[in-house]
Amino acid sequence: MLAVTAVVLLVTGAGTAFALRGYLLARTDDQLDIAARFAQQRLGQLDGVPARGSLQAVIAPSDYLLELRRPDGSLTRMGSLQSVPGRPLLDRAPPAPPDGNLSPATNLADGRYRAVVGRTADGGSVLVALPLEPVRATIRQVLLTEIAVGLAMLLLLAVGGRLLVARGLRPLDRITATATAIADGELDRRVPPGPPERTEVGRLTLAVNGMLARIETALRARAASEDRMRRFVADASHELRTPLTSIRGYLQLLRQGIVGDPDRPEVLRRAEDEARRMGALVDGLLFLARLDAEPALRHEPFDLVAPLRDSVSDLLAVQPGRPARLELPPACRVRGDEDALRQVMANLLANVRVHTPPDVPVTVALRPADGYAEVEVGDRGPGVPAELAGRAFDRFTRGTGTGGGPGGAGGGPGGAGGGPGGAGAGGGGGFGAGGAGSGLGLAIVAEIVAAHGGTIGLDSSQRGTTVRFTLPLADPDPGAAG
């Protein structure tokens, strides 16, 4: 920037000096022309007067130098600058034009004088000259002034530019410091607000802070996911080890002959139950893994009323004495996988069956609104313990069953046709029952609902528990839902 400014100032100064020189020379030429013509006229009028008197009458005291050469060759000089070193200027100047006009202005004596030559009435020659030193002094003064002004401007530009650049880079320094702090692990650091948003640096600050917020969210989500995965692997290992240990123990009893014939069927039944439990756990883990990797769910329109009604019928087939109430519209078409949503209802009602006494009422309601269908499954049971309610949808979260009916902690009634990918083993509600559940039921429910683009939540108190989840309607117009 300074180099460009210096070049511009240099070119401007040179152009100014060149233009000023041309102007001053033109003005000098005009003065010489006027003085020379006056000298020609005056000398013609004073013909016959002594030469010096004639010259004194023509040239008043000034910077002009006048040289007169008579036809006989004699030379007379007049003017305040009479001592010109070397030959007379007339000997160095071009000859006077014979037509009485003046010669073009010429620099003489190594450029120290500028002169014109003309003819006199008696055939002689007259030269009028002016020194060029005043012109050169003026140009030098202008150049020195321009140099001083240019240097001052460059100095101001250098100092001011440095201050402006330092001020402009200060936000970038803050961005650099913030990035360094984040690299050191301070993920919550942000660039302090600085310039207004309308400036480039202000917009950059906003963009960087937005990017940092997204990066922090992504990193924290990744850390949380890795933490959940570690807990999941540890819990899965523990959950699989328990039934395997039981089966191994029962088989050792049979192999060693410790169990008598009367007890052999009971031992085999218990081993089979543990194997079934382990199979349900493996199927649930496989289904969750598939949902995590790539949900293989259909998204087709269907009437949600029928699966809800069927799920309640399955529950009543297992517990005929349980009071049940349905609050369903005539029809409500949603978009999703019908088998997977039957699995959702099977798991939710299995939790009701396992965790509440058989005489506790259950309510299943469906309400379409705002482009979504809200499903509500509630009971009047003892509720979920407060320490478990916040993580009810986490994997391997269990509560204590309160006396489930037939089927204990097995799968949902009838398995609801099995979820996609053989997830019919999701049974044993999210909390398990009597320790026999897999602890994956509500986790599967949450994953299926999320894969459909819905939301799910749980409200629980001593007066009962209610699970609500939403699903997108096939037709966003609520009037089309029923």
Q: What is the pLDDT along the chain (482 residues), one digit of tens a residue?
A: 778 888 888 898 889 989 999 999 999 999 999 888 888 887 766 554 444 455 555 555 577 888 888 888 888 787 765 566 677 888 888 888 888 789 899 888 888 889 999 988 888 888 999 999 999 999 999 999 999 998 999 899 889 888 888 877 777 788 888 888 888 877 777 877 766 666 777 777 788 888 888 888 888 888 887 887 787 777 677 667 777 888 888 888 888 888 777 888 888 888 888 888 788 777 777 777 777 666 667 888 999 999 999 999 999 999 999 999 999 999 999 998 898 899 899 989 988 998 889 999 999 999 998 889 999 999 988 888 777 777 778 777 766 554 433 333 333 333 333 333 333 333 333 333 333 356 778 888 988 898 888 999 998 888 889 999 999 998 765 444 44
Q: Which residue has the tokens 């052999």?
A: 264
pLDDT value of residue 20: 92
Pairing of strands 362-369, 324-327: parallel
HEC secondary structure over the chain:
CHHHHHHHHHHHHHHHHHHHHHHHHHHHHHHHHHHHHHHHHHHHHCCCCCHHHHHHHHCCCCCCEEEEECCCCCEEEEECCCCCCCCCHHHHCCCCCCCCCCCCCEEECCCCEEEEEEECCCCCEEEEEEECHHHHHHHHHHHHHHHHHHHHHHHHHHHHHHHHHHHHHHHHHHHHHHHHHHHCCCCCCCCCCCCCCCCHHHHHHHHHHHHHHHHHHHHHHHHHHHHHHHHHHHHHHHHHHHHHHHHHHHHHHHHCCCCCHHHHHHHHHHHHHHHHHHHHHHHHHHHHHHHHHCCCCCCEEEECHHHHHHHHHHHHHHCCCCCEEEECCCCCEEEECHHHHHHHHHHHHHHHHHHCCCCCCEEEEEEEECCEEEEEEEECCCCCCHHHHCCCCCCCCCCCCCCCCCCCCCCCHHHHHCCCCCHHHCCCCCCCCCCCCCCCHHHHHHHHHHHCCCCEEEEEECCEEEEEEEEEECCCCHHHHC
pLDDT value of residue 196: 65
| 317 contact partners, CB below 8 Å, separation of at least 6 | 413, 414
pLDDT value of residue 373: 92
Order across the sheet with 456-461: list the strands. 324-327, 362-369, 372-379, 464-472, 456-461
Tokens of 75: 């030379």
- For residue 433, the one-letter residue type is A
Q: What angle do CA 35, 37, 39 make, to 5 degrees?
A: 70
- Round to whole Å and give the CA distance between 16 and 387: 88
- For residue 432, the one-letter residue type is G
Backbone angles phi, psi at 325, to 5 degrees: -130, 135
| 307 contact partners, CB below 8 Å, separation of at least 6 | 338, 341, 342, 345
pLDDT value of residue 416: 34
C-alpha torsion 166→170→172→173, nearest 10: 100
- Let me know: does 377 contact 386? Beta carbons within 8 Å: no
Half-sphere exposure (CA, 13 Å, Cβ side) for 465?
22
Half-sphere exposure (CA, 13 Å, Cβ side) for 158?
9
pLDDT value of residue 45: 64
pLDDT value of residue 404: 38
Which residues are registered as beta bridge partners of 470? 374
First vs last C-alpha separation in the chain = 74
Q: Angle formed by the axes of helices 338-355 and 441-451, to 10°? A: 150
Q: Angle formed by the axes of helices 200-255 and 264-293, to 10°? A: 160
- Round to whole Å and give the CA distance between 45 and 274: 147
Determine how many CB atoms are found less than 10 A away from the CB of residue 297.
19
